[in-house]
């Protein structure tokens, strides 16, 4: 498994989640949205078919 590469938005995301509890992460495909979100998630639900990933 690859090691997480810290991103510029990590600190801002952490602060936002401390007082909001949820946030929306937007950006182009393959920019690290899901990987970044997973670093801060308490749980996750994946809806894609594992046979097709």
Which residue did the predictor score with more confidence, 38 or 50? 38
* The pLDDT of residue 47: 87
pTM of the complete model beyond 0.85:
no
* The pLDDT of residue 1: 66
Average pLDDT over residues 12-17: 94
Q: What element of type H or E holds 31?
A: none
Average pLDDT over residues 20-45: 92
Asked if 7 and 32 count as a contact pair (C-beta separation under 8 A), the reply is yes
Average pLDDT over residues 40-53: 83
* The pLDDT of residue 53: 59
């Amino acid at each position: 498994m690859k090691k997480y590469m810290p991103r510029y938005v990590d600190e801002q995301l952490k602060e936002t989640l401390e007082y909001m509890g949820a946030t929306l992460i937007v950006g182009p495909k393959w920019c690290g949205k899901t990987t970044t979100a997973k670093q801060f998630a308490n749980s996750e639900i994946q809806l894609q078919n594992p046979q097709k990933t």
